[in-house]
Amino acid sequence: MKPEAVKKYRPFPSFDMPDRNWPSQAITTAPVWCSVDLRDGNQALIQPMSLAKKLEMFKLLVDVGFKEIEVGFPSASQVEYDFTRTLIDQELIPEGVLIQVLTQARAHLIEKTFASLKGAREAIVHLYNSTSVLQRRTVFKMNRKEIIALAVEGARLIKEEEAKYPETHFRYEYSPESFTGTELEFALEICEAVMDVWQPTPDEPVIINLPATVELASPNVYADQIEWFSRRVSRRDAIILSLHAHNDRGCAVAATELGLLAGGQRVEGTLFGNGERTGNVDIITLALNMFTQGIDPRLDLHEINQLVEVYERVTHLPVHPRHPYAGELVYTAFSGSHQDAINKGMTMYEEAESGLWEVPYLTIDPTDVGRTYESIIRINSQSGKGGIAYVMDKEFGFKLPKEMHPEFGTIIQDLTEREGRELQPQEIYDSFEKVYLSVSQPFALKGFNTVKRHFDSADKASFADVEANLLVDGVERTLKGSGNGPLDAFCAAMKASVAGEFTLCSYHEHALSGGQSAKAAAYIEIEDAGGSRFWGVGVDTDIIVASIKAVMSALNRSCQR
Ligand SMILES: CC(=O)SCCNC(=O)CCNC(=O)[C@H](O)C(C)(C)COP(=O)(O)OP(=O)(O)OC[C@H]1O[C@@H](n2cnc3c(N)ncnc32)[C@H](O)[C@@H]1OP(=O)(O)O
Ligand SMILES: CC(C)C(=O)C(=O)O
């Protein structure tokens, strides 16, 4: 920006409310959710939804568990009108779900709105008109009195229309649109005037929706505005105070959360925050934020990928890979220290009895929203040994001993740097296979027999005699050896005949898979005569043979250095 451009702007007027209560409140229950995907979301799309797409979105919203759904602006276009009619005529509105429709305070639009609802069991009619200083001056060119008269006339016309449709139970909502840019006393005055017409009672409450049509200030200011209003409005028990935040400053979720602390009881928003400009508040994020605090959000989000799939198809908008809870990458760590911490946290979580989710860097268990653990750790040049070990374990069942992580970690890190890209799990396995499992030069095992084994609790040690057939640099050799067990006997034979001096430093083994064809993996570290250390890995149905293969793997690697 040019430096002087900043002079075009001024701070949001300060507002003093030293006795504010909201900072010491907590969210303890979910609000009433109202999806406005089919109206506010739809009106912001490059290509508004067709009737078929609206139906698909409606079904999704019902499946998720929304009990209030703003289905459109029926007086605005034929599709909007036809969609409302289709829902009613084809009896597609489940018991317990309320449809809501929006209208301006204009007679012909109100009439058409009611016609669109003919035959409905129940519906919310949502009346709005803009009340902000700016819109009064620029759009309506009306003073406060005239703006109130517009709203009151709209409210009155609605009451008049209601009488024509006795079969429907109507509920009402009023929004002083652009509330956040409206003087608070004026917002209160106009809402009171509308309520004077509608005469709400605790049994037939009205929804008063206070929208941040444009997010003009920080979230604490919205909370102050909501609390100010909530504390002063008359007939408080006959009002459901509703929030409707847009995201111009990127704070709609925060503003709504603070608005709930301040007295908001209902939230209008959309899936993934679609909506005018930077969008409406994202209900998925709000709900899952609550979920992570142990609060039942009363929305079923256990298949988030399906929500993303339908949403993207219907709106033609992508969900950002970093979108909270839903983005492709939000359960993925590439960086080494994060992977290490997640790996350790996951292991502890699996072993712990508390059942409490306490995994570093992950606020939610991905499986709670239908995501898998597989994608948690992905490998690129930022990754570390812990993450690589995690992939080997979770994807292929190899639980590499901790002391082996640095060696294999370096091998994979060199590869990611050479390739300059993310490695797929299969590529990591292929590298493991090449380096440890299929290395067969200079030694290749052709056959192995334990000739004699002895154990007697009266003796100091057990013993074994073994015989192994090897290819040594392509030449067949038969080696024989004795030791305190088959592995010791084989090492003795190797040292004496072909490999020279080496020491076994570490030994680990585990079963690789269950069932009759279960295989075992053995990991052995040797130190060669020069003091260098090498890991080897062997896999076999016989654990002794797996360990013999692991020694061969380590010896071959030491020879190839
Ligand atoms: C913040 C929000 O999201 S509010 C919802 C906004 N959504 C939409 O606008 C989508 C659907 N809208 C439409 O299809 C059209 O705008 C319609 C059908 C509602 C109205 O269409 P039209 O009358 O042809 O045009 P338009 O919207 O430009 O009308 C503007 C007039 O309505 C007046 N107006 C705007 N809002 C309201 C209101 N809530 N109540 C009464 N009058 C209003 C304006 O002052 C203006 O009056 P003027 O003609 O005397 O200057
Ligand atoms: C109609 C109103 C509630 C609206 O969409 C807004 O103010 O953003």
Domain assignments of the chain as residue spans, ordered by start: 33-315, 336-430, 443-560
Q: Is 246 annotated as a binding residue?
A: yes
Nearest atom of ligand 2 to the alpha carbon of 209: 3
Query: Which ligand approaches the C-alpha of residue 109 most closely?
Result: 1
Candidate of 213, 214, 281 to mutate for ligand 2, largest count of ligand atoms within 8 Å of Cβ? 213
pLDDT tens by residue, 456-481:
888 778 899 999 999 999 999 999 99
pLDDT given for residue 472 in this prediction: 97
pLDDT tens by residue, 32-42:
999 999 999 99
Q: Is 169 annotated as a binding residue?
A: no
Give the C-alpha separation, 79 to 58, whole Å: 14
Residue whose Cα lies nearest atom 41 of ligand 1: it is 105
Cα(244) to ligand 2 centroid in Å equals 7
Contact 483, 491 (CB under 8 A): yes
Give the C-alpha separation, 317 to 53, whole Å: 14
Pocket of ligand 1 (CB under 6 A): 40, 43, 73, 76-77, 104-106, 128-129, 139-140, 150, 177, 213, 276
Q: The complex's ipTM?
A: 0.97
Cα(281) to ligand 2 centroid in Å equals 12
Pocket of ligand 2 (CB under 6 A): 40, 102, 128, 175, 177, 209, 211, 213, 244, 246
pLDDT tens by residue, 63-100:
999 999 999 999 999 999 999 999 999 999 999 999 99
Query: Which ligand approaches the C-alpha of residue 110 most closely?
Result: 1
Q: What are phi and psi of 39, to 5 degrees?
A: -120, -75
pLDDT given for residue 373 in this prediction: 77
Mean pLDDT, residues 212-239: 98
Q: Which two tokens stand for residue 291?
A: 């979920």
Residue indicated by tokens 């930077």: 278
Q: Is the pLDDT of residue 513 over 90?
A: no
Q: Is the pLDDT of residue 119 over 70?
A: yes
Nearest atom of ligand 1 to the alpha carbon of 127: 39
C-alpha neighbours within 13 Å on the C-beta side of residue 543: 10
Candidate of 84, 104, 175 to mutate for ligand 1, largest count of ligand atoms within 8 Å of Cβ? 104
Q: Is the pLDDT of residue 409 over 60?
A: yes
**β strands within 91-227, DSSP E:** 98-104, 122-130, 169-177, 206-212
**For 443-560, which CATH class?**
alpha beta
pLDDT given for residue 561 in this prediction: 77
Q: Is the pLDDT of residue 515 over 70?
A: no
Nearest atom of ligand 2 to the alpha carbon of 211: 7
CA angle 374, 377, 380 (to 5 degrees): 130
pLDDT tens by residue, 126-183:
999 999 999 999 999 999 999 999 999 999 999 999 999 999 999 999 999 999 999 9
Query: Which ligand approaches the C-alpha of residue 129 most closely?
Result: 1
**β strands within 230-384, DSSP E:** 239-245, 266-269
Cα(211) to ligand 2 centroid in Å equals 6
Q: Is the pLDDT of residue 517 over 90?
A: no
Look up the pTM and report it.
0.88
Give the C-alpha separation, 235 to 206, whole Å: 10
Mean pLDDT, residues 409-435: 96
Into which CATH architecture does domain 33-315 fall? Alpha-Beta Barrel (3.20)
Query: Which ligand approaches the C-alpha of residue 70 most closely?
Result: 2
Bond from prior residue into 442 cis (ω within 30 degrees of 0) = yes
Q: Is 508 annotated as a binding residue?
A: no
Cα(70) to ligand 2 centroid in Å equals 11
User: Mapping DSSP to helix (H, G, I), strand (E, B) and coil, where does residue 188 land?
Assistant: helix
Average pLDDT, the chain: 96
Contact 36, 269 (CB under 8 A): yes
Q: Is 280 annotated as a binding residue?
A: yes
Contact 518, 424 (CB under 8 A): no
Mean pLDDT, residues 187-195: 98
Nearest atom of ligand 2 to the alpha carbon of 246: 8
Cα(178) to ligand 2 centroid in Å equals 7
User: Mapping DSSP to helix (H, G, I), strand (E, B) and coil, where does residue 366 land?
Assistant: helix
Candidate of 42, 244, 247, 267 to mutate for ligand 2, largest count of ligand atoms within 8 Å of Cβ? 244
Query: Which ligand approaches the C-alpha of residue 252 most closely?
Result: 2
